[in-house]
Every structure is written in C-alpha cells, then in structure tokens.
Amino acid sequence: DAGVTQSPTHLIKTRGQQVTLRCSPISGHKSVSWYQQVLGQGPQFIFQYYEKEERGRGNFPDRFSARQFPNYSSELNVNALLLGDSALYLCASSTLGQVPYEQYFGPGTRLTVT
Amino acid sequence: KNQVEQSPQSLIILEGKNCTLQCNYTVSPFSNLRWYKQDTGRGPVSLTIMTFSENTKSNGRYTATLDADTKQSSLHITASQLSDSASYICVVSAGSNDYKLSFGAGTTVTVRA
C-alpha cells in the first residue's frame, strides 16, 4: 500500500516567485495537514483540510494558501516567496477517526529560496 | 503560548547502549503526547501516542513515559542499533484540536559502532 506522496522532491525558487507543492494522501484518508520545518527546528502547523474544507490554520501569513480536491489530494501555494520560506514542507494524512488521530507523514518537499 | 521543550539537543551513544530523551511541555488543555522518529530529509514516523490516562507505552525497543501532572515525558531507547540514528521529536496535541500538533525541536541521536 502506497504511503503519503509529495511532489516535487526538491525545488529552487527565487524571491518574489510563487510555488505550488502537491500531496497525495494514503488511500482512504480524507484529511491532509501541511507543516513547515525549518532546518534544525520541529515542524510548524500550517493548514489542515478535511473533506475539501479548511479545518484549521496555523500562524502563517496570507501568502500561504491551500486547497483539497475531490480525490483528497492537496496543494499548498506560497506567493511572493521570501528567503525565510526555505524549508522542508511536510504533508500528513489522517483518517480522522477516534481521537487521537494518527498522522502519517510524507517524505516532504525541500524548498530553497534564493 | 504552547511550548514543547526537548533535551538534550543531541547525544552520541555506542551501539548496544541505552539512552533516555526528555520532553517538557506547557500545552494546555492536554489531549495526547506523541513521539516521532525522523530520519534526515524524511518525514516523521510515529513511535508512540499516549493519552492523559496512559503513563507508559512501548514499541519494540522504544518505551515512552508520561507524567501529565508534571507535564513531562521521556523516551527510552534500549540496546541501541545503528539504525536508531535519527532525530526524535516530542509532539503534543491540545484539547479537541487534535489536528493542531505542537512539535519540539527534536533530539538528534547518533549511534556509533
């Protein structure tokens, strides 16, 4: 059974550009969460989507947006990139059954902003 | 502000030895505490999840403890192996917002032969 997949694996962008990251959850999982992990730190929560609706948002600027598609895959968009957006972006999927919800993480997309 | 603090920041141990990692948190109201293992450049993998009523949970050579009164947790690795070299992250979930996880910065464990 395939795990959470993310694309692309690596990405290099310049300041001011826009980027779209993609995530496919585990089959049967209807919830997707996005996290940003800056080098040397733990992941920070960005968004969670369930059944195509946003359920939660972390403390990130409006330059960050996301959406979930009918097949439960998701995209994270970041506009007007800053050097500080350089990070590993992780996607996690969950069934959102009984609390606590187990979250399964993908391998991440490494974004470098120059 | 909900915080999760881990110690030590890093440690080196010899293969076959044991080690214990610490986690203190101020997240409130508490829902559950998780330990994840993260290999370099990869996504975190769940080791254990403990709710308020649980004070110990094992997963193979990994044993986690939780003291909800003092808001402390530990992860004990027994008979370490080279494959245990990774970052170990303590994660706390607050209240009913179980999707909004608070991560510690992690402890980097290096196991040497």
Cβ of B89 and A42 within 8 Å?
yes
For residues A69 and A25, the answer to whether their CB atoms sit within 8 Å is: no
Identity of the residue in A48, A102, A105 whose CB atom sits nearest the CB atom of B43 = A105
The whole-angstrom separation of Cα A94 and Cα A100 is: 10
Q: In the beta sheet, which residues pair with residue B58?
A: B63
User: What is the Cα B99 distance to its own chain's centre?
Assistant: 18
A56 with B104: Cβ contact below 8 A: no
Q: Which residues of B touch A96 (CB under 8 A)?
A: 99
Say if strands B86-94 and B97-103 run parallel, antiparallel, or are unpaired: antiparallel
pLDDT band for A1, please (50, 70, 90 cuts): low
Backbone torsions φ then ψ of A47, nearest 5 degrees: -145, 155
The segments of chain B whose pLDDT lies below 70 read 1-2, 95-99
Q: Does B10 touch chain A (CB under 8 A)?
A: no
> Does the beta-carbon distance from B103 to A48 stay under 8 Å?
no
CB contact under 8 A, A43 and B93: no
pLDDT of residue B98: 64
Per-residue pLDDT tens for A24-37? 999 989 999 999 99
**Residue A4 tokens, joined:** 């959470």
Q: Which pLDDT does position B28 carry in this prediction?
A: 80
Q: Which residues of chain B neighbour A9 with C-beta distances below 8 Å?
A: none
Report the residue from A100, A106, A108 with minimal CB separation from B31.
A100
A56 in Cβ contact with A45 (< 8 Å): yes
Read off the pLDDT of residues A37-82 as tens digits, 9 standing for 90 and up.
998 888 999 999 988 999 889 999 999 999 999 999 999 999 999 9
Name the amino acid, one letter, at B86: A
Q: Write the residue in A33, A55, A99 that is nearest to B31 by C-beta.
A: A99
The pLDDT value recorded for residue B30 is 85
Q: What is the 8-class DSSP label of residue B40?
A: T
**Count of CB contacts below 8 A, A vs B?**
65
Sign of CA dihedral B25, B28, B29, B35: negative
Do the Cβ atoms of B103 and A42 come within 8 Å? yes
Looking at residues A79-96, what average pLDDT do you find?
94
